[in-house]
Amino acid sequence: MYRGAAVNLTLVTPEKAIKLAANDYFRHLLARDGMGLTIPREMVAGCGAGTCQVIITTPMEMLKIQLQDAGRVASQQLVRGVHCTAPGCKLVAVSPPLTRAYNIGPAALTRRPSATQIAVELLRTQGIKGLYKGLGATLLRDVPFSIIYFPLFAHLNRVGQGTPEGRAPFHRSFLAGCVAGSVAAVSVNPCDVIKTRLQSLSKGTNEESYTGIVDCARRIWLKEGPSAFLKGAGCRALVIAPLFGIAQVIYFIGVGEFLLDLSRYSRFST
């Protein structure tokens, strides 16, 4: 259940830091003197933030998926050796998964691959582009996410606020982050499904290889139906909501203003 947790923890910190700081930076560049940002400008700032984050964190995302897939593929390999003697029981034929140096040999079923091992193997066989497999699909997920999330958060965070310059209370920033994160996460879940399929290197039983984003989307639609694009949407929203709620609150305590010097107030103002 916790495979890839270390990579995920390593991924979350820089991902959120880059995304939040980059959004503030682009909002600062696009702001007009004495005037707030229009919604299109807020969306452009979110687009820039999502692009910066994806370029830096895609390799970590790639390694996380491989570690989470390791147990599933290994269990399917074990099925090949199961002998069923019960009446009416049929042997299950399992197609061998695609192989890598870290999943070949008799010890592969008991030895868990590490993130370092997978990264070294990818660099050796495919070069730096191996770590960026699925970059297009990741951009397709994270850029729209940021375009939806940041303007929505900004407007929810200002609800009931007297002046644009005032600081929102703790609970409002947290709730705004949760709601905006949930809406954005569910909205881009189809892109997340496509990204995960494309970045999975080890294929198990009846799993296909795809030539690109369009091919992947077409096959999922034809073989699994439209509902397949919403698989995991609920769980993803449950994870993203508190994650962005907490991140926004910590950032709004004063980190953004400290890094970019955008606020006229001190870090500890209320």
The identity of residue 83, as a single letter, is: H
Contacts of 114 (CB under 8 A, 6+ apart): none
Q: How far apart are alpha carbons 33 and 263 in whole angstroms?
A: 14
Q: How far apart are alpha carbons 164 and 156 in whole angstroms?
A: 12
- Top mean pLDDT of 61-70, 108-117, 125-134, 139-148 is at 139-148
Pair of tokens at residue 21:
């700081």
Instruction: Tell me if the pTM is above 0.75.
Output: no
Model confidence pLDDT, tens digit, residues 136-174: 888 999 999 999 999 999 999 888 665 556 677 778 889
- Percent of the chain topping pLDDT 90: 27
pLDDT of 92 above 60:
no
Q: Which class in CATH covers the domain with range 5-76+115-201+208-268? A: mainly alpha
pLDDT of 42 above 90:
yes
- Percent of the chain topping pLDDT 70: 66
Residue 16's closest CA among 267, 246, 261? 246
Average pLDDT of the chain is 76
Contacts of 81 (CB under 8 A, 6+ apart): none
| pLDDT confidence tier of residue 202, bands split at 50, 70 and 90 | low
What length is written for the chain? 270
Pair of tokens at residue 168:
């929102």
Pair of tokens at residue 16:
């959120």
The full set of domain ranges for the chain reads: 5-76+115-201+208-268
Give the pLDDT of residue 76: 54
